[in-house]
Structure 1
Amino acid sequence: MYNNGMDLLNACRTLNKPIWEIVLLDEIKNNNVTEQDILQRMEEILQIMENSSTHPIDKHVETVGGIIGGEGKKMMAYSQSDRTISGRWITKAMARAFACSEYNASMGKICAAPTAGSCGIIPAAILTLAEKNNFPRQIVVRALLTSAGIGKIISTNATVSGAEGGCQAECGSAAAMAAAALVEMNGGTPLQSLDAAAIALKNIMGLICDPVAGLVEAPCSKRNASGVVNAFVSADIALSGILSVIPFDEVVEAMYNVGKGMHENFKETAKGGIAITDTAIAYSRKIK
């Protein structure tokens, strides 16, 4: 039913349906499953996301490398204070993103959305907006379908792998998926969702993947926190009526080409960027 953004937009217009419903129909058609099967699976994924975004805040976890830990709890406490610059809801979203990253780094069960390294962005975005606006659970489940549709397009036409395209492909794709979902949750049009996704990808284009000690801890957790902020900013830009100058499909293609042009040192090998700073090397030696 759709392989790119233009296909998705045309399907939405022809059938007069939102993105989440087109994604649902496409899954039913291509995978020989029922609507109930898909919605049940989305509910299971949502429960995993809820747990991973709260567990490290409620209970201390030990990460594999010990490079990160406690960020989610600290940020959640900070979000409740009157000292925040970004405000309560943005900092709360950041706390959830940090928590998911910590849980992943401690071998907890997470949902790769679209990857383990970017697992905190989508949960943090949709759960925080749902809490802020008191949305029913059905809206949150539908948001997962919307984000999945954007993820399918990116993975079909480009990549979501840091080893292939750098962090722009991981956290960039996650932010794009989250931004599109936020727009649809808040009553935006399919075009606004795709514009938000395009803006989010453009905001992070060119970002390398340079994990300290080769572990998905630093700078990954902070890029999840900044990634969810990127999603909120991009969604608000699109919802305001500001268009993406470059269409979503062309942005996806550009991101893929940038990734292919990156030196291998900048694609998850821990041979470039901050991964080869003196401090990072010291961490690596300590862990080994």
Structure 2
Amino acid sequence: MKLKYNTVEELVSAASSSNKKISEIVLEQQAEDMESTTELVYATMENSFDVMRQSVISGLDETLRSPSGLSGGAAAKVKKAVDEGKNHYGHLLGNAISMALAVTEFNSCMGKIVAAPTAGSCGVIPAALISVMDEYDIPKHDIVMSLFTSSAIGMVIAKCASIAGAEGGCQAEVGSASAMAAAALTELFDGTPQMVSDSCAIALKNTMGLVCDPVAGLVEVPCIKRNAMGVANAFTASELACAGIKSVIPADEVILAMRQVGQLMSSSLKETSEGGLAATPTGCRLCRQIFGPDSCGGE
């Protein structure tokens, strides 16, 4: 069965009928489509994962600050709290949050990241996968393979809805990243292809309607902290699905609903910085502070 990435159900059906994981059939299909070998395609994905890991390490530098001054150093603060046993919700969640912040703060400082699926949502997937890898000593090979499942979910969302904040709001960026991460986590913890689908649906439902309202037009406030929320949402969605809890609304219907919500959303809430947090008094003050007195369109 040649994958067309038109639906999540297509992925589930192909994997279930062949008694394979979604990641396995996607890797094989990508190698065929690219007229390459599975080894070379895997190596390319492994390189992407290595970039993700390095962006976490680099982003944890406590001296890191963005050119705007709006971000930097938050990841290091959370990591310090975790290391000193002062965070309140567990080692895994604390580390995941610090990693999500680290990658996105590193991005705001013009560091090298993997846009997964976008630069604005680049912290969710690395944080989810690297934190569980470290916590449970999961082999790197399994983590890299899970990225093929994550990517397949992202391809369906991009094809049937959107992964761009300018088109669908932040639900299309952090929401999609969270769904992709949830799918990867679910497969990592031996969830069935149907559980992968359910985790994707749950994660997207939890972020339905999330707007894109970057202060001063920069991918910093509130984008960075939304990545931290995204990884927590991915954990929640995967935990529910792996416990056997199904999404009442199928993943493909959720994706189409997300597209419709994006179409209904005002342009002021889709990356234009004309509404939401960007248009608050503080948001406008920060914009003028960075770009000059006539720079804020929110007032």
CA distance in 2 between partners of 1:171 and 1:26 (Å): 27
Alignment TM-score, normalising by the size of structure 2: 0.94
Corresponding residue for 1:216?
219
Q: Is the CA contact (8 Å cut-off) linking 1:79 and 1:89 kept in structure 2?
A: no
Corresponding residue for 2:21?
18
2:185 aligned to which of 182, 186, 189:
182
CA distance in 2 between partners of 1:150 and 1:74 (Å): 33
Q: Is the CA contact (8 Å cut-off) linking 1:171 and 1:227 kept in structure 2?
A: yes
Corresponding residue for 2:277?
274
Deviates further, 54-63 or 215-224: 54-63
Q: State the secondary structure of the residue aligned to 2:41.
A: helix
Mind listing any 5+ residue stretches in structure 1 that lack a counterpart? Answer: none
Check if 1:132 corresponds to 2:135.
yes
- Give the Å deviation of 1:281: 0.7
Q: Is the CA contact (8 Å cut-off) linking 1:96 and 1:123 kept in structure 2?
A: yes
Deviates further, 203-212 or 35-44: 35-44
- Give the Å deviation of 1:84: 2.3
Deviates further, 263-272 or 128-137: 128-137
Check if 1:252 corresponds to 2:255.
yes
- Give the Å deviation of 1:108: 0.4
- Give the Å deviation of 1:88: 1.1
Deviates further, 57-66 or 87-96: 57-66
CA distance in 1 between partners of 2:117 and 2:108 (Å): 16
Corresponding residue for 1:61?
64
1:117 aligned to which of 120, 132, 139:
120
Q: State the secondary structure of the residue aligned to 1:58.
A: coil
CA distance in 2 between partners of 1:230 and 1:213 (Å): 26
Corresponding residue for 1:164?
167
- Give the Å deviation of 1:59: 5.4
2:178 maps to a residue whose letter is: A
- Give the Å deviation of 1:32: 1.6
- Give the Å deviation of 1:177: 0.1
Deviates further, 11-20 or 210-219: 11-20
> Which 4+ runs in 1 deviate beyond 6 A?
none
Q: Is the CA contact (8 Å cut-off) linking 2:166 and 2:270 kept in structure 1?
A: yes
Deviates further, 39-48 or 75-84: 75-84
Aligned length: 288
Q: Is the CA contact (8 Å cut-off) linking 1:2 and 1:11 kept in structure 2?
A: no
2:30 aligned to which of 20, 27, 32:
27
Q: Is the CA contact (8 Å cut-off) linking 1:97 and 1:224 kept in structure 2?
A: yes
Q: Is the CA contact (8 Å cut-off) linking 2:8 and 2:156 kept in structure 1?
A: yes
Deviates further, 20-29 or 109-118: 20-29
- Give the Å deviation of 1:236: 0.2
Check if 1:36 corresponds to 2:39.
yes
CA distance in 1 between partners of 2:250 and 2:60 (Å): 38
Q: Is the CA contact (8 Å cut-off) linking 1:2 and 1:8 kept in structure 2?
A: no
- Give the Å deviation of 1:214: 0.3
1:166 maps to a residue whose letter is: G
CA distance in 2 between partners of 1:54 and 1:198 (Å): 31
Q: Is the CA contact (8 Å cut-off) linking 2:115 and 2:122 kept in structure 1?
A: yes
Q: State the secondary structure of the residue aligned to 1:79.
A: helix
- Give the CA RMSD over aligned residues: 1.0
CA distance in 2 between partners of 1:239 and 1:162 (Å): 29
- Give the Å deviation of 1:283: 0.7
1:174 maps to a residue whose letter is: A
Alignment TM-score, normalising by the size of structure 1: 0.98
CA distance in 2 between partners of 1:146 and 1:212 (Å): 33
Mind listing any 5+ residue stretches in structure 2 that lack a counterpart? Answer: 292-299
CA distance in 2 between partners of 1:48 and 1:209 (Å): 26
Check if 1:234 corresponds to 2:237.
yes
Identity of aligned residues (%): 45
Corresponding residue for 1:95?
98
